[in-house]
Amino acid sequence: MDQVTHLISGLLQSNLFKKEGQERVYFKVCTVCALIPDIDLVARIWGREAYLIHHRGLSHSIFLSVFWALLTTLVLKPKGANLRDLRPVIWAGTLCVIGHLFLDLFTSYGTSLLAPFTYKRFALDALFIIDPVYTLTLIFAFVTSIIFKKKQKLITRLAIVFWLCYPILCLGTGQWIQKREELLSKTQTEDTIKNHVLPEFLTPFYWKLLKEDNTQVRLYSYSLITRSKTLILENKKVPLALKEFQGGEFLDFFFNRFLRFPFTKPYGSGGSSGFIVIDLRFFSTSPVVFKISWDYIPFALVIESAEDRSLKKYGFTRVSRASILQK
C-alpha cells in the first residue's frame, strides 16, 4: 500500500493502544513502526534494478517485526525510561509492523514475508496499491476521533474493524468474481482457460480479469456494478526464450521471482532484435485511469539480442498502453 495509508493506520493504532501518561511515546513508536518496513525504498538511490530486487524484501519479513519495534522504541523512548516499563509499547509497535505487512500482502505486488528463509513473494491480489475509498475513510475516522475526544476510543475501534475487514471483503469479492468466470468458462466449453482476477484502481468496484491459455491472452476490465467485462487487450503469447539470455542476478530475479503475468511484444532496431516485456498486473484497465490519460506502464523491460541471439543489452523503458495495444 501507499505510505499515506500506512501512516494513517499507525495513527489509528496509536489511539487504540495508548495509555494515559504515555501518549507521546505510543504516537511516535506506532507511527514509525507502521512505516519502517518501507525503509527499503532507499534502494532507489542505487537505481531501479536495486529497488525492484530489494523493495518488499528482507525489511518486510515477519520475523523482523519485533526487531523493528524494539529498535524504534530504543531510539524514540523518553530519556531515562526503563525499557522493561515500555514492553507494552514494543508490542504495540510490533503489531503496527505486522499491520504494514498485512496491508502489503493484500496487494498484487508481492511481499517476501518469510525472508530470509525464502524470498518467495506472497500476494493475495485484493487491494490496489492506491485505494482512495479505503484511505479517505480511515483519514475521516482519525480526524473524527480527534474532534470528538470523548468518543475517541469507540470511533477508533470501529475504524480498526473497518481497517481489518475491508481488505478481507475485497479478497472475497475477487474470489467470487473468479469463481463466477470459471463457471462461465465451463459452460462455454473453455475448460483450458485460466482466469485471474487482479485489483484495479477503485477496487472493489473495478477489477482486472485476465484469461489465458497456451496460445493467447486476453485482458478485460471488469465492473462489479454492472457485472460485465470489457475486452482491453487480446494477443498471441510470444515465447520468452529466457534460456538464451544470461543477464546475471537482475534478469534471474525479474523473470523467475518478480514477473507473474508476463506479456511480451517483439522489438527490433539498428540490426538488433528482442522484445519488450511487461507484467499485466501493472497494465491499467480502469476507465477512470483512461480518462486522466495516465498512459505509463511501470516496470517495462526491453531486452535486445544480437544476430547470434546473445544478450546485447537490457534496460527499463517508458511504454504506453497504446504501444502495447497496437498490433
Query: Tens digits of per-residue pLDDT, 247-302?
Result: 577 888 888 889 999 888 877 655 556 788 899 999 988 877 666 556 678 899 88
- What is the pLDDT at residue 317? 84
- What is the pLDDT at residue 238? 61
Which three three-digit cell numbers place residue 15? 489511539
- What is the pLDDT at residue 279? 92
SS3 annotation, 60-83: HCHHHHHHHHHHHHHHHCCCCCCH
Q: What is the pTM of this model?
A: 0.91
- Torsion over CA of 163, 165, 167 and 172, rounded to 10 degrees? -170
Residue 130 one-letter amino acid: I
Nearest CA to 34 out of 63, 72, 61 is that of 72
> Sheet holding 311-316: strands in order across?
262-269, 272-279, 301-305, 311-316
- What is the pLDDT at residue 161? 97
CB 1 within 8 A of CB 131: yes
CB 52 within 8 A of CB 299: yes
Whether the upstream peptide bond of residue 204 has omega within 30° of 0, thus cis, is yes
Per-residue pLDDT of the chain (327 residues; tens, 9 = 90+): 999 999 999 999 999 999 988 899 999 999 999 999 999 999 999 998 999 999 999 999 999 999 999 999 999 998 888 888 899 999 999 999 999 999 999 999 999 999 999 999 999 999 999 999 999 999 999 999 999 999 999 999 999 999 999 999 999 999 999 999 888 877 766 556 889 999 999 999 999 999 988 788 899 999 999 999 999 988 876 665 554 555 577 888 888 889 999 888 877 655 556 788 899 999 988 877 666 556 678 899 888 776 666 677 888 888 877 777 776
- What is the pLDDT at residue 272? 57
- What is the pLDDT at residue 288? 72
